[in-house]
Chain A
Amino acid sequence: MYYISAASTISHQPAFRNAGFSGVIEPLHAGSALINPDYKEYIEPGLLRRMSKILRMSVACSGDCLKQGGIEQPDAIVVGTGLGCLLDTEKFLNNALTVKGLLPPTSFIQSTHNTMAGQISLSLGNHGYNMTHTQNSISFENALLDAMLLIDEGEKHILVGAADEHIALLDEISAQLNIQSDCGLTSGASFFILSAEKSDQTLAGIKDAEALGLVKNIPEQITAFLDRNNVNPDDLDLILYAGSVAGTEDGEKDFQSLLKMKNLPVLDYMKYSGIYPTASAFALHMAADQMQHTRSIKNILICNSLIQHNLGLILVQSVEA
């Protein structure tokens, strides 16, 4: 078991520095905005002035996590991102097309996917393992697996998280691809301290995680994952899912029929987070928060099949006091 010692999220929900937020969240509606903290409290002005949205969110969430966990330096920093620093990428490419002569360097330097992990490390003066995973919709699950492997190798506290940012161009592209959804494309960041040992601060445990590409049969993979962890479907208290398990539009019925449990609570977490490639990190915070505040919840499965051929699975378990 791997233990979540701290969690921090910036999203459309009032999650930041708000334990118990999962009890008050509501599905996103048109015009719903990201709830940003006062970044000046978490980031030095000299660094803040050149940071894009994704960098501000990541550095603030990381700082908040470390503060909550009472940890000055994590043993490693591991970040997942599906699309990386889009604002700086767009800015740099626009400069390249329009500016004659020398190109301003800042947006180029900050356009790479590993800028978040790098900025977090710079803000902490951390010289430990620093890694960024980018595998589209299962980037967070891959980052989480990396953090779990580091703990298996003897590390104590890993800062692991995920972030993605929205730019207007994504709306244009999704309209051209005829992607329609009730909840819009957006930004979000969630970070965690994953620890080797349980403590008084532990919010929940992660029993197992899996990230699979080129998946042909999602139901088979889910069943095998549960079997491998000796969890019966009727042990599950909640499934948080994104995308479609059986190619239909009714995820709830799909899961209930797959696991042969009519009354199993099933929730589409993207209705609460909005759509971004690493929203399963939001689901993990939501799961940990629910376990912390509803003691009867013991097992939550996070099933991320936002993109049909990718599958991310995380089994979250409560930790007895």
Chain B
Amino acid sequence: MDDLKEELKRQLIEQLNLEEITPADIDDNTLLFSDKGLGLDSIDALELIVLLEKYHGIQVTKPEEGKEVFRSVNSMAEYIRKRQN
């Protein structure tokens, strides 16, 4: 089990107040901004930027990266590791 991804799932649920969703309900590849996935919206995108800074000390400085970074838990974890190295 990838600890970073599990931590991210818990942080997503807390930061976005995803009632009735548990980390087990979120697959690593679940699309965050698709109705077929978590169905997040533009306010959530801002919350995710805050989440990365709050929990991981990472500032998203290039807005154009957002679409790919916030695609799924997998892509978020990959981005965090890349920025931390």
A and B: partners? yes
Contact (Cβ within 8 A) B15 A104: yes
B25-66 near A? 1/0 per residue, CB < 8 Å:
000000000000001010100110110011000010000000
User: 7 shortest A-B CB distances, which residue pairs?
Assistant: A105-B46, A49-B17, A102-B50, A49-B19, A104-B50, A101-B53, A102-B53
* Cα–Cα distance between A20 and B77 once the two chains are bound (Å): 56
A65 CB to closest chain B CB (Å) equals 25
Which one of B17, B20, B50, B54 contacts A50 once the chains associate, using CB atoms below 8 Å? Answer: B17
Contact (Cβ within 8 A) B49 A102: yes
Which one of B18, B46, B59 contacts A49 once the chains associate, using CB atoms below 8 Å? Answer: B18
In the complex, chain B residues whose CB is within 8 Å of the CB of A106: 43, 46-47
A212 near B: Cβ within 8 Å? no
* Cα–Cα distance between A99 and B49 once the two chains are bound (Å): 14
Interface residues on A, range: 10 to 19
Beyond the given A49-B18, A102-B59, A104-B50, please list 5 additional residue pairs across the A-B interface where CB-CB is below 8 A. A48-B19, A101-B50, A103-B50, A105-B47, A106-B46
Nearest A residue to B17 via CB reads A49
Contact (Cβ within 8 A) B54 A46: no
A23 near B: Cβ within 8 Å? no
> Which A residues are within 8 Å of any B CB, using their own CB?
45-46, 48-50, 99, 101-106, 109
Contact (Cβ within 8 A) B43 A50: yes
Count of A-B contacts judged by CB separation below 8 Å: 33
In the complex, chain B residues whose CB is within 8 Å of the CB of A103: 50
Q: List 26 A-B contacts (CB under 8 A).
A: A45-B19, A45-B20, A46-B39, A46-B41, A48-B19, A49-B16, A49-B18, A50-B16, A50-B17, A50-B43, A99-B54, A101-B50, A101-B53, A101-B54, A102-B49, A102-B50, A102-B53, A102-B59, A103-B50, A104-B47, A104-B50, A105-B46, A105-B50, A106-B43, A106-B47, A109-B43
In the complex, chain A residues whose CB is within 8 Å of the CB of B46: 105-106
* Cα–Cα distance between A99 and B20 once the two chains are bound (Å): 27
In the complex, chain B residues whose CB is within 8 Å of the CB of A48: 19
In the complex, chain B residues whose CB is within 8 Å of the CB of A49: 16-19
* Cα–Cα distance between A225 and B46 once the two chains are bound (Å): 51
* Cα–Cα distance between A49 and B50 once the two chains are bound (Å): 18
* Cα–Cα distance between A20 and B54 once the two chains are bound (Å): 51
Nearest B residue to A46 via CB reads B39
* Cα–Cα distance between A45 and B39 once the two chains are bound (Å): 11
In the complex, chain A residues whose CB is within 8 Å of the CB of B43: 50, 105-106, 109
B36 CB to closest chain A CB (Å) equals 14
Nearest A residue to B41 via CB reads A46
* Cα–Cα distance between A67 and B59 once the two chains are bound (Å): 46
* Cα–Cα distance between A30 and B47 once the two chains are bound (Å): 39
B44 CB to closest chain A CB (Å) equals 9
* Cα–Cα distance between A131 and B26 once the two chains are bound (Å): 39
Nearest A residue to B60 via CB reads A102
B10 CB to closest chain A CB (Å) equals 16
* Cα–Cα distance between A48 and B18 once the two chains are bound (Å): 10
* Cα–Cα distance between A109 and B44 once the two chains are bound (Å): 12
* Cα–Cα distance between A69 and B54 once the two chains are bound (Å): 47
* Cα–Cα distance between A50 and B20 once the two chains are bound (Å): 13
* Cα–Cα distance between A48 and B53 once the two chains are bound (Å): 26
* Cα–Cα distance between A251 and B50 once the two chains are bound (Å): 53
